[in-house]
Structure 1
Amino acid sequence: MSESRESESGDSKLPKIPEQQEEPPQNDAAADFETAIDSAGFGMFNILLLVAAIPAAMGTVYETSTMSYILPSAECDLQLSLLDKGILNAITYAGMISSAVMWGYLADTKGRRNLLIVGYAADTVCVLGGAFSQNRIQLMVFKYLGGFCMSGPFAVLMTYLTEMHGRKHRQRIMMMVGIMFSIATLTLPGLAMLILPQTWDFHVWTLKLASWQVFVAITALPSLLSFVLFFFFPESPKFLMSKGRNQEAMTAFKIIYHLNSRKPKDSFPIKLLANEVIVPVKKHKEGKDVPIEIKLPMESAEVQDAESQDAKKSSLRSGFTQLRPLFTKPYLGLSLWVYLLNFCVLLGCTVT
């Protein structure tokens, strides 16, 4: 009897042992970015982000398209020649091309949100500078600087939006962004029809403003609004995790989850994020540095600080390393073909 009682008591204790062993791994399992962003859900935060993206898309379209509308009005005021009009039409794109590499490097080192804020603030200043221009040289300089500043937000906006949505909604978001750019393209001629035919003549101190300058000044409003709105959004968790800043990434995930589910931030199901820092590991046989993605839990803040310091030291060198393949085989030939095809497409659109 005593043996049976002991066996029964022993059997009753056995199920408790595996339960205690199974629960901690489920609660403490490190989640990667895709798992965490899917757990944050889709809701109010994503809707607010799309609303903020509307003026951002409008600012991008306005920066690159206003010249074609104001040249007939500004031709007499600035005494533009045929060559001047051609330069004004192209100089914005020259600024975008000359700064594309720089903005790509800054987006991967300084963050998406910071670049959007700085880019749209700088574009607002450049657009207003173009609106107050009193001669063709000033207008050319500000249009070049406007293209130089807009190249970053134009590309990073897409990246930021995709990284703030889960896999289920990511493709639909890109379709909606395309619709935003189309709507922005349609609003510009309507705005030009309302303002440019007016015979306005304003004097601000020693500056003389015509209707076309008022039109250019109004097109700065979307960039100004985007500059203000992006202050209220967090940094991309994808970028933060790639830099080892998992605590900040967790805070961003909790904000998204809180707005989408209307639940407390502490109820976010993910409790630990994986380390997605890409660490170059040297192969001794070949003597090459191969980036290997390590996904392990972050154990302490000291590890994050050490990795962030190493990333800052090697960021410039890694940026040039990433550009090197564009100028070597086999990518050089393929890149030249793509550039040529794109040039022919744009040339055909211009001729037609």
Structure 2
Amino acid sequence: MTAVEQRTLPIGAAFDRMPFTRRHVLIALALFIAFVIESWEQLALIYVAGDLGAQFGVDEAGIGLVLSAVAFGMIPGVLIWGPVADRIGRKPAAFWSLLAYGVVAFASAFSPNLETLVTLRVASGLALAGVYTITFPYFLELLPTRHRGRAAVYLSIGWPIGMLAAIGASVALGSLGWHVVVIASAAAGLWAFAIRAWVPESPYWLAARGRQEEARAVLRSLGSADADATFTVSATRVGNPLDLFRGRLARITVLMLVLNFAFNWGYWGLQTWLPTLLQEKGLSLSASLGFAALSAVMMIPGYVSASLLTGQFGRKKVFLVYVVAAVLGGLWFATAGSTVELYLGNFVLAFFSMGAWGVWNTWNGEFYPTALRGTGYSWATAAQLVATAAAPSAVGAMLAGATGFTATILIINAFMVVTALLAVPLPETEGRELE
């Protein structure tokens, strides 16, 4: 052994001097498209809900059940896939999850009745939960320390791109029926093969499993100057959910879970019913879709600005400022007295809420050591999905009870206020090595 090979380093130190290379760009592309697919699947049926309701003869409550079905499947799915990814690896979890999703989603396009459709959408959510849970932790574990925050926020731009793809598919294919939109979504499951070809296994995970040579090989391919060392990792038990609630992690876990629920309720409660709410304000269906598309476009500079700021000011400060600004945008949107104010208020809300989401997707993945990162992120995702499942039905019930546009938006906005308050005690992670 040479002197270099005899060095012992924490695995995170191997990323401190690592450059951002072409290999990272390819990895980013593969996982970015995966996130686009995740967004598309959750949003695609929102924009063809009218056709869905007409075919099965159901009202807003029935449509809300269909829209929530994927989230209902993903809630147990993420709690299963997170520990699985900590045990079998990030790469196989992402591959098999996305491939299985494509198969089940394709079958759901031929559902003969509402019960079958809901059942298969629950199953597709169960499958999709794996790649949904692991995308950000996986990406974080392949990035140089100094580029981790910025690059991961850029990955979040996949959400509005997926939203635009869902709207585009609805416009281009919606006249052919909701079945065709679902088939197009299912075909995206083939992207699993691109992930298997382009994205290596996490060196953090390999080192934690004692596979030092494989970890070194991946680090060399990523350009690490410290790839020949022997790496140490946290001794935490692999994928044990109880460890999330022990010692210093317990307080972080509780805050993180409640924040994820509140933040996603505030976002999803609005997005699911945005076309309907806009039609209540006098916009046509086509104008509502155009409004949603413009909102998605405004999300992109929100992500980019947050990416540029997080490395300079840290995760916490940027997140708090953006959430507070989103609350103000929500108030403007709720009390808009004209179409122009409606657009401007929602654009402010979209810009800052999505910038905050980009920071949170990164920050949320940095609280836990490698042995618990997949499990911790899966619990965070489960809290989000509980809100995703509850919000459409809750907002639907408010609309059915004639709550009204302004009151509904203000109730949704209150969850964003709670989000800001919960973020204050969480630790800053900007510039820290992953454990």
Normalising by structure 1, we get a TM-score of 0.68
- In 2, Cα distance between the equivalents of 1:110 and 1:192? 37
* TM-aligned CA deviation for residue 250 of structure 1: 1.1
Distance 1:178 1:332 in 2: 22
Q: Aligned residue for 1:250?
A: 216
Higher relative contact order (CA 8 A, sep 6+): 2
C-alpha distance in 1 between matches for 2:178 and 2:230: 52
Match among 54, 61, 68 for residue 90 of structure 1: 68
Distance 1:49 1:250 in 2: 18
Check the 8 A contact 1:243/1:277 in 2, yes or no.
no
AA in 1 matched with 2:151: I
In structure 2, the partner of 1:345 is 266
Identify the residue that residue 230 of structure 1 maps to in structure 2: 195
The 1:31/1:332 distance shift into structure 2, 3 A limit, reads closer
Partner of 1:31, secondary structure, is strand
Q: Is the 8 A contact 2:84 2:93 kept in 1?
A: yes
Find the aligned partners of 2:104 and 2:120 in 1 and give their Cα distance.
Answer: 5
Q: Aligned partners of 1:244, 1:146: CA distance in 2, in Å?
A: 34
Paired positions, count: 271
1:157 aligns with 2:123: no
Paired residues of 1:129 and 1:142 also in contact (CA < 8 A)? yes
Corresponding letter in the other structure for 2:207: M
Which segment drifts farther, 229-238 or 66-75? Answer: 66-75
Corresponding position of 2:231: 274
Indicate whether 1:48 and 2:26 are aligned. Answer: yes
Offset of residue 140 of structure 1: 0.4
Alignment counterpart, residue 322 of structure 1, candidates 229, 232, 243: 243
Alpha-carbon offset, residue 50 of structure 1: 1.5
Say which of 125, 134, 149 aligns to 1:171. Answer: 149
Q: For residues 172 and 188 of structure 2, what CA distance do their matches in structure 1 show?
A: 17
SS at 1:28 equivalent: coil
- Give the residue type in structure 2 aligned to 1:43: T
- Specify the alignment match of 1:18 in structure 2: none
State the partner residue of 2:37: 59
Correspondent of 1:239 among 185, 201, 205: 205
Letter in 2 for 1:243: R
Distance 2:254 2:142 in 1: 35
Question: Which has the larger displacement, 328-337 or 119-128?
Answer: 328-337
* Letter in structure 1 aligned against 2:88: K
The residue correspondences of 1:1-352 to structure 2 (distance < 5 A) are 25-26=3-4, 28-198=6-176, 211-225=177-191, 227-232=192-197, 233-257=199-223, 270-276=227-233, 278=235, 291=236, 319-322=240-243, 334=255, 338=259, 341-342=262-263, 345=266, 349=270, 350=395, 351-352=408-409
Distance across 2 between alignment mates of 1:113 and 1:253: 15
Cα distance change, pair 243–29 in 1 and its aligned pair in 2 (3 A): same
Shift of 1:332: 8.9
Deviates more, 1:240-249 or 1:328-337: 328-337
Q: Which has the higher strand share?
A: 1
Q: CA deviation at 1:54?
A: 2.8
1:347 to 1:167, Cα distance in 2 relative to 1, 3 A: closer
Q: Tell me by how many angstroms 1:339 deviates.
A: 6.7
Is the contact made by 2:90 and 2:138 (CA closer than 8 Å) also made in structure 1?
yes
CA distance in 2, matches of 1:123, 1:321: 29
The range that moved more, 73-82 or 242-251, is 73-82
Gaps (5+ residues) in structure 1? 1-22, 199-210, 261-267, 279-290, 292-313
Q: Deviations over 1:230-289 (max 9, x none)?
A: 1112210011111211111112122323xx9xxxxxxx65322223251xxxxxxxxxxx
Q: Alignment partner of 2:231: what SS?
A: coil
Q: Name the CA shift for 1:335/1:178 in 2 (closer, same or farther; >3 Å).
A: closer
**Cα shift readout 1:129-163 (whole Å, capped 9, x = no counterpart):** 11122211111011111222222211210011111
Radius of gyration: which is bigger? 1
How many angstroms apart in 2 are the aligned matches of 1:248 and 1:108? 17
Describe the SS at the equivalent of 2:181.
helix
Structure 1 residues 24 and 329, CA, compared in 2 at 3 Å: closer, same or farther? closer
Cα-to-partner distance string for 1:179-237 (whole Å, 9 max, x where unaligned) = 22222212211121011124xxxxxxxxxxxx321111011233321x11111122100
Q: State the distance in 2 between where 1:51 and 1:139 align.
A: 32
* 270 and 334 in structure 1: CA distance in 2 versus 1, 3 angstrom threshold: closer
Alignment CA distance shift 1:325-1:339 (3 Å)? farther
Q: List per-residue Cα deviations over 1:308-348 (Å, max 9, x = no partner).
A: xxxxxx75xx625325559x986797578547734762575
Give the RMSD, CA atoms, in angstroms: 3.0
Residue identity (%) = 20
Q: Verify the 8 A CA contact 2:106 2:187 in the aligned structure 1.
A: no
SS of residue paired to 1:274: strand
State the TM-score, normalized to the length of structure 2: 0.56
Q: For the Cα contact (< 8 Å) 1:55–1:223, is it kept in 2? A: no
Following superposition, the deviation at residue 26 of structure 1 comes to 4.6
Q: For the residues of structure 1 that align with 2:261 and 2:139, how far apart are their CA atoms?
A: 30
